[in-house]
Structure 1
Amino acid sequence: MAYDEVLAQRLHDLLDNEPGLSTRAMFGGLGFMLDGHMAVAAGSGGSLMVRVDPADGEAWTDGESVGPMEMRGRAMAGWLLVDGPELAEDERLRLWVGRGVEFARSLPPKQ
């Protein structure tokens, strides 16, 4: 299934003025990169992948709408999957995008 185009547009609306922004198709979604580091990605079904500091990720999971991102049945440290209903309000989307941006900006730019 392709990524959610409505969510991708909402992400563009939030991130288009960020320096060093690029997008790339990855993980079946559309990744939003800042200076070469993924911050967030629009997934299928309205879900959002968010890159976070692994030390913070567990505290932000709730077992319902926010959980660890899994690939091939294995949880990926530093990556969260936020379900679409959690992102219905713009304020909540900004919160999660901000977390991804904050972590991506904490990393040195890739060459």
Structure 2
Amino acid sequence: MAKPSTSLAPDPMVERLRAALGRRAFTEQKMFGGTCFMIDGNMLIGTSKRGLLVRVGKAAHAAAAARPHASPMEMGGRSMEGYVHVAPEGTATEADLRGWLGLALAFVETLPPKVKPAKVAKKRA
């Protein structure tokens, strides 16, 4: 008798975002219970079962949160200014997804690249 698979089904949104980003250089990182896409070390957009986490910046926050299927992002009961949550209905079409991705890119491309600090050796007693 075969064991049931314990692995999770791949998130189709991850593939959609990879395709939408095209040849742009990006990295992926597991965060917030999903996959986050990073450009130059800065978080751009993330997936979860509940929808997308889109980084829009503080200046665009109110307008982005007022768009259909969007709301201010909250984590642990605290609002995350500069980030919005987009329900799955808000990314139903490729045009919808490109719109959110474009908004995130417009902000993140203004940020300087993040450099990882060098690891410091721990002292041994």
TM-score scaled by length of structure 1: 0.89
Residue matched to 1:81: 85
Show structure 1 runs of 5+ residues with no match. Answer: none
SS class of match (2:112):
coil
1 CA distance for matches of 2:9 and 2:109? 24
Q: Which residue number in structure 2 is paired with residue 103 of structure 1?
A: 107
* Distance across 2 between alignment mates of 1:79 and 1:10: 20
AA aligned to 2:45 is V
SS at match of 2:24: coil
Deviation at 1:43, TM superposition (A): 1.2
Match of 2:95 among 91, 96, 108: 91
Matches of 1:3 and 1:69, distance apart in 2? 25
Q: Does structure 2 retain, via aligned residues, the 8 Å contact 1:4–1:42?
A: no
- Match in the other structure for 1:8: 14
Compute the RMSD of aligned alpha carbons. 1.8
**Displacement of 1:30 after TM fit?**
0.2
Q: Distance in 1 between matches of 2:9 and 2:105?
A: 20
Q: Which has the larger Rg?
A: 2
Q: Assess, with a 3 A threshold, how the Cα gap between structure 1 residues 24 and 16 changes in structure 2: closer, same or farther.
A: farther
- Superposed CA deviations along residues 71-95 of structure 1, whole A, max 9, x for unmatched, are 1011100000000011001101000
- Name the aligned partner's letter for residue 106 of structure 2: E
Distance 1:10 1:71, change over 3 A: same
> Would you tell me which structure has more helix in proportion to its own residues?
1
User: Which structure would you say has the larger RCO, counting Cα contacts within 8 Å and 6 or more residues apart?
Assistant: 1
Q: Could you state the TM-score of these two structures normalised by the residue count of structure 2?
A: 0.80
Is the Cα contact below 8 Å between 1:4 and 1:44 reproduced in 2? no
